[in-house]
Amino acid sequence: MKPNINKAAVEAAFGKPTEIPHYNIVFATPGNSFVPGYVKSLLMTIHALEGDGISWFFLNAGGSHVGVTRERTISGDNFYANNKITVPHNGEFTYDKMMWIDSDISWSVQDISKMYYSDKDIISGAYMMADRVVVMSKNPWGQMMPEHEFVTFTEPFSVASIGFGFVCIKQGVFESLAKPWFGNPDDNDKFLIGEDIAWCFKARKAGYEIWVDPSVRVNHQKTVIVSWE
């Protein structure tokens, strides 16, 4: 789907009419602080991308509420802009893939490569919480998947919901969803659900399938680093 570019916003941002920049991959990371493993992984990834001639851009915003912070990260200075304009940063750039990575995740260059070259519209890697459950669910209101079940999968499989810790999304997906992207999936829905689960509800309702690549296993640093065996 071709994004609805807001040319007026682009001209305002750059001061004059200009060619809209295009990036092969956009990294989106909400939050004000980054664990050392994240920083090291990002630097290694950028070095590899530039060596392969793959262009990149970085999005970031801080805040105290995770849903709002995610919304600010993708919306930029136009957070309060017209909700009918459903393109990242009001169309100030175009892109092929958007890679959401939380600031407490570490990964390998190979993990990024598998995400970037996937043909799926939405593809996630896997990371665990401290109790060793993987942040995904096969059922819309189900529990997160225990590690012993997850390791039985060898090929990408579809799920109902994922966390946004390490997920790659093709251009056109966000553009086809209603804003706020990380708000409740229905204005009449009074259930309080996580912003990532709410996004998954919207995506599936729009006809997208959500996939997980079980070969992409990244580390999650909370109080301790939750890594794979």
pTM of the model: 0.86
Q: Does some domain include residue 2?
A: no
User: CB-side exposure of 101: number of CA atoms within 13 Å?
Assistant: 31
Would you say residue 157 has pLDDT above 60?
yes
Q: Kindly report whether the peptide bond that precedes residue 180 is cis, defined as omega within 30 degrees of 0.
A: yes
What is the rounded CA–CA span in Å between residue 13 and residue 15?
Answer: 6
What does the pLDDT read at residue 67? 78
Classify residue 45: in a domain, yes or no: yes
- Model confidence at 138, pLDDT cuts 50, 70, 90, reads very high
**Cα gap 191→186, rounded to integer Å:** 10
DSSP 36: H
> Which structural domain range is residue 141 located in?
7-226
In a domain, 216, yes or no: yes
Q: Residue 78 falls within a domain, yes or no?
A: yes
CB 141 within 8 A of CB 194: no
The answer as to whether 1 is a domain residue is no
* Number of domains making up the chain: 1
Q: What is the CATH classification number for the domain harbouring 163? A: 3.90.550.40
| pLDDT value of residue 120 | 98
pLDDT above 90 (res 16): no
Q: CB of 31 within 8 A of CB of 103?
A: yes
Predicted local confidence at residue 15, as pLDDT: 54
**Contact, 56 vs 100, CB < 8 A?**
no
